[in-house]
Structure 1
Amino acid sequence: MQERDERGREVLGVYSHSLKYQYQFGERGSSYRQGTYWFVIRLDEERYSVQPLNGHHLPSGVTKTVTKEEFLQYYTPEMEYFRKHTAPALESLREKLFMGRRFFDMGRLDKAEKLFCSIVLQDETNIDANTGLTEVYANQKRFTDLRTVLDRLFGVDDLFREQQRHKFNEFGILLRKQGLFDDAVRFYRKALEVNPEDDHLHFNLARAYYERGRKDSCLEHLYECLRLNPGLVEAACFLDHIEEEDAKESGS
């Protein structure tokens, strides 16, 4: 199996896990069928990412990294399980996400919401579907529903991992543009707990604080952004703008 995920990493498929069963190289099939099932991605030659499957045969929940030695000792390939259950479930999910995004781009928000909701029913922590719902609810000004999804997303640690940086940057910008400055601040602060050296996070948090009217906090993160990346033109221009505002206020 040589499938690749969206980041180009090698997908190994579904494996079962047992502390009592050691897979022997060259063994045909697996006699183990009663333990937990895990979706496995090879990170590099020495590390593997494993994520448990939920009742819908989809990878869901917290991922963890195991060493090559641990992986070879305790994880057993379940190719037939992957072929019959997980592969079709993943393909169905991809189709729903594609159609959901397409309906959203067409302005057919009700249909987009229906598809994103159907995914969340199968995988409550699916980042793409939940993010899609936030965009639908933001456009419909359904802020109570939006905050429900936000609270769910804040509990998904995977969202704030390094590999999701492009997603949570876009997501925070969406919140800020919708005028949800407190939620944007909350979102970026959570992301910074995982990525404290991310200059763009500090820049976006500075903008959210500025819109919130908290100039001191804005400048704090703007300075930190420029310390991390002195060449970020947008941050330098933003700082110039704030300094010009301060000068005008002082002059008046």
Structure 2
Amino acid sequence: MTVDTHKQSGQAIKGVFSTESVTVVGFGATKRRVKQTVYVYVEESPTGDIVCQPLSQQYVPLGRKRVIDRETLFKSFIPAPDIYLEHMLPALASLEKTVDQAEKLRDDGALFSAEFEFKNALRLDEHHVRASFGLGLTYLDRGEKEGALLVFRRISRLSGATAPEHKHLFNEFGIKLRKAGMLKQAMLHYCKALRLSRDDQNLYYNLARTLYEMGRLRAARRMLDQALKRQRDFPEARLFADHIREKALETIAVTGLELSSFETAAAKRGEG
């Protein structure tokens, strides 16, 4: 753990600190004050903010983050490097190992075992982004749309899900949602992924496919234009755009034929 009170080393603060919390328990004559040691994970952001987050009983950072100043940190908290090295780091390593194992099981088609491992990971950290996506993908692989919808709602509330490194998870989930016929949810996932990476031509292409299946041909064409703007040599997007153009021309031709037939029938009836 790095604890640099005067910033002499140039390293940011990062590690576990402890503080004492006083809780009142009991009633009446049995009422008493109990001191409890509380551990928090503290990390200094690039902007200099001191962000602290409580540790769970399993020594995983969990719960609401709050920003404190440097003076408060060193006045109210005590460094706990033993907790950081002997408990928190091993707990995080075990958590990531569980998620890795769950993803391998899903890739191998062992979907019920994968679900079990993803849930084990989420019991340790209910806000774990990869585990949440993995569980949702597992439900979609099994055709369980209701379970996937529940996970979709959970992911939409995860603040950590909006980190740029999770763009590919939104994309993969979007593909699975589209193939499962959950087009609105797929569209929302692609839109979130594009907010993380506006220059990814593949995201625009995948969103175009979803919009096309929703019957929104004009919007799909706009997304393909955006994809081709970012990668001119994108044959799939070019072919798809040509297909949409042909389909639009066919629709115009059919509409014109129907209108002509209507006008002919109206003329025979003496209308118009």
Fold shared per TM-score above 0.5: yes
User: CA contact under 8 A between 2:53 and 2:66: conserved in structure 1?
Assistant: no
- Assess, with a 3 A threshold, how the Cα gap between structure 1 residues 49 and 161 changes in structure 2: closer, same or farther: farther
Contact 1:62 1:157 in 2 (8 A): no
| Partner-residue secondary structure (3-state), 2:41 | strand
On the 8 A contact 1:13/1:77 being kept in 2, the answer is no
Structure 2 CA distance for partners of 1:78 and 1:97, relative to 1, 3 Å:
same
Scaled by the length of structure 2, the TM-score of the pair is: 0.67
Moved more, 105-114 or 141-150: 105-114
Q: 1:146 aligns with which of 148, 151, 174?
A: 148
Residues 190, 114 of structure 1: alpha-carbon distance in 2 compared, 3 angstrom cutoff: same
**1:77, 1:231 → 2: CA distance?**
55
**Which one-letter code corresponds to 1:37 in the other structure?**
V
2:16 aligned counterpart, secondary structure: strand
Q: Distance in 2 between matches of 1:173 and 1:63?
A: 32
Q: 4+ residue stretches of structure 1 with deviation over 6 A?
A: 46-49, 62-66, 70-73
Q: Is this contact kept in 1: 2:41–2:55, CA < 8 A?
A: no
Of 188, 191, 208 in structure 2, the residue corresponding to residue 189 of structure 1 is 191
Q: Select the residue among 86, 111, 117 that pairs with 1:115.
A: 117
Tell me if structure 1 keeps the 8 A contact 2:171–2:189: no
Identity %: 27
Return 5+ residue gaps in structure 2 as ranges.
Answer: 3-10, 20-35, 255-272
Note if 1:102 corresponds to 2:104.
yes
Equivalent position of 1:26 in the other structure: none
Gaps of 5+ in 1: 3-9, 19-32
The 8 Å contact of residues 117 and 133 in structure 1, kept in 2 or not, is answered as: yes
> Cα–Cα, structure 1 residues 11 and 153, in superposed 2: closer, same or farther, change >3 Å?
farther
Partner Cα distance (1:60, 1:239) in 2: 46
Higher relative contact order (CA 8 A, sep 6+): 1
Indicate how the Cα distance of structure 1 residues 86 and 206 shifts in structure 2: closer, same or farther if over 3 A, else same: same
Distance 1:108 1:151, change over 3 A: same
Worse overlay, 232-241 or 118-127: 232-241
- Alpha-carbon distance in 2 for matches of 1:112, 1:74: 41
Q: Is 1:235 aligned with 2:237?
A: yes
Indicate how the Cα distance of structure 1 residues 145 and 250 shifts in structure 2: closer, same or farther if over 3 A, else same: same
* Larger Cα-atom Rg: 2
CA distance in 2 between partners of 1:50 and 1:202 (Å) = 35
